[in-house]
C-alpha cells in the first residue's frame, strides 16, 4: 500500500506540473493578444488590465472616468503592454456599448478577448418597488453586455477568440437586499450559458467563460459589507488573474474563490440553505442600515 501511495503522489505531482506548464504556455500566448476590458478604471477590471499588460497584450480599457482610465493606461504601458488605449463610455447610453467595441476593433485591428466586467451603481437594501432603477440597471449590467458581445462576435470568430463574462455568486442563488443586482446577474448566466450551446451547435470558434465571483477585496466592496458579514474577502489581483486564465484556457465556468461553487450546490440541495433569514444576525444588521448604503462597486461579488 505504501508503494501504491507513492505512485499516486508521483502521478498527482506529474499532473500538477503538466497543468501549470500548460497554464504558463497559454499565458505566454497572450503576448500581442488584442484585448478589450470593460469596467477597468478600478477594482478587478483595473487589475486585469495590469495582468494583461505584464503578459504583453494590446489593450483597450473602458469605464466612465476618463482621467482615471488615462492613468491606468499609462501604467499598463509601463508594465509592458504593447498598446494601451482608453475610451470613456457610459454603458447606460444606448450607443456607447457598440461604440466602444468599434473603437477597439479599429485601433487593434480585431479582438482576441472581450472581457465584460462593468457594472452600474445600485443600493444595498430591501427592494421598494423602484422599477425604473431596476430597468436602468438591467440596461447597464445585462443589455450592454449582449450588445457588446454581438458586435464583437464576428471578429472573435475570425480570431478563434474568447468572450469572458464576469458575474457573481448572486447570479446563481437568491439573496435578500440585492434584488435588482441579482436579477441582472441571473440574466447574464442564462443568456451566456444558452449562447454557449448555440455557438457549439454552429461549430463556432468562439469560447465563452462565465466567471462567478464571491467577495473580493476591492475598496468599494469592503465599504459595502463592513459590519454586515465576516465572510473572508479574496484579493482582486488573484481574482483578475483567475479570470484571465479562464479565458485563455477557454474554460466555460470559473468559480472564484473555489467554495463559491460549493455554495451554489448547497443551494440546489437545500434552497433555504438551512437559514431562517428574518432571524439571521447578518440580515438584521443589513436591514438596519439598508436605506443608507449606496455604491458604484461590484456589489454582488459577495
User: Which stretches of the chain drop beneath a pLDDT of 50?
Assistant: 2-20, 273-283, 286-287, 289-300, 302
* Inside any domain, residue 217: yes
Which spans in the chain are helix H? 2-28, 43-54, 66-79, 96-108, 131-138, 144-159, 179-201, 219-225, 236-248, 259-269, 281-289
* Inside any domain, residue 19: no
Known catalytic residue at 181: yes
Which residue in 50, 113, 181, 256 is the catalytic one? 181
* Inside any domain, residue 157: yes
* Inside any domain, residue 21: no
pLDDT in tens, 237-251: 999 999 999 999 999
**Residue-level pLDDT at 221:** 63
**Residue-level pLDDT at 135:** 96
Task: Look at the chain and report how many structural domains it folds into.
Answer: 1
> For residue 169, what are the domain limits?
30-295
Q: Is 7 in a helix, a strand, or coil?
A: helix
Residue 61: C-alpha distances to residues 86, 114, 246 (Å): 5, 10, 19
CATH of the domain at 148: 3.40.50.720
Q: Is 147 in a helix, a strand, or coil?
A: helix
Q: CA angle, corner 183, sides to 146 and 226, nearest 5?
A: 115
- Helix axis angle, 236-248 to 2-28, nearest 10°: 90
* Inside any domain, residue 236: yes
* Residues 6+ positions from 253 with CB-CB distance below 8 Å: 209, 210, 212
* Inside any domain, residue 20: no
Output the DSSP codes for 183-210.
HHHHHHHHHHHHHHHHHHHTT-S-EEEE
pTM for the model: 0.82
* Inside any domain, residue 160: yes
pLDDT in tens, 175-227: 888 899 999 999 999 999 999 999 999 999 999 999 999 877 666 665 665 55
C-alpha span between 153 and 158 (Å, rounded): 9
* Inside any domain, residue 158: yes
Amino acid at each position: 500500500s505504501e508503494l501504491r501511495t507513492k505512485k499516486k503522489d508521483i502521478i498527482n505531482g506529474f499532473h500538477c506540473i503538466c497543468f501549470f506548464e500548460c497554464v504558463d504556455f497559454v499565458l505566454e500566448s497572450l503576448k500581442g493578444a488584442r484585448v478589450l476590458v470593460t469596467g477597468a478604471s478600478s477594482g478587478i477590471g483595473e487589475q486585469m488590465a495590469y495582468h494583461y499588460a505584464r503578459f504583453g497584450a494590446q489593450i483597450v480599457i473602458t469605464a466612465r472616468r476618463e482621467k482615471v482610465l488615462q492613468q491606468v493606461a499609462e501604467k499598463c504601458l509601463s508594465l509592458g503592454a504593447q498598446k494601451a488605449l482608453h475610451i470613456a463610455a457610459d454603458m447606460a447610453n444606448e450607443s456607447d456599448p457598440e461604440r466602444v467595441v468599434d473603437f477597439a476593433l479599429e485601433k487593434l485591428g480585431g479582438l482576441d478577448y472581450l472581457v465584460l466586467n462593468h457594472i452600474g451603481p445600485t443600493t444595498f437594501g430591501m427592494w421598494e418597488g423602484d422599477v425604473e432603477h431596476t430597468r436602468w440597471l438591467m440596461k447597464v449590467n445585462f443589455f450592454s453586455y449582449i450588445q457588446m458581445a454581438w458586435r464583437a462576435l464576428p471578429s472573435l470568430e475570425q480570431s478563434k477568440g474568447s468572450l469572458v463574462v464576469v458575474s457573481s455568486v448572486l447570479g446563481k442563488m437568491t439573496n435578500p437586499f440585492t434584488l435588482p443586482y441579482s436579477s441582472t446577474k441571473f440574466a447574464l448566466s442564462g443568456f451566456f450559458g444558452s449562447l454557449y450551446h448555440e455557438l457549439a451547435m454552429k461549430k463556432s470558434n468562439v469560447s465563452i467563460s462565465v466567471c462567478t465571483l464571491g467577495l473580493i477585496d476591492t475598496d468599494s466592496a469592503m465599504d459595502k459589507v463592513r459590519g454586515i458579514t465576516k465572510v473572508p474577502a479574496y484579493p482582486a489581483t488573484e481574482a483578475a488573474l483567475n479570470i484571465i486564465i479562464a479565458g485563455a484556457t477557454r474554460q466555460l465556468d470559473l468559480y472564484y474563490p473555489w467554495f463559491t461553487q460549493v455554495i451554489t450546490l448547497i443551494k440546489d440541495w437545500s434552497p433555504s440553505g438551512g437559514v431562517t433569514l428574518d432571524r439571521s444576525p447578518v440580515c438584521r444588521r443589513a436591514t438596519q442600515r439598508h436605506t443608507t448604503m449606496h455604491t458604484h462597486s461590484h456589489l454582488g461579488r459577495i
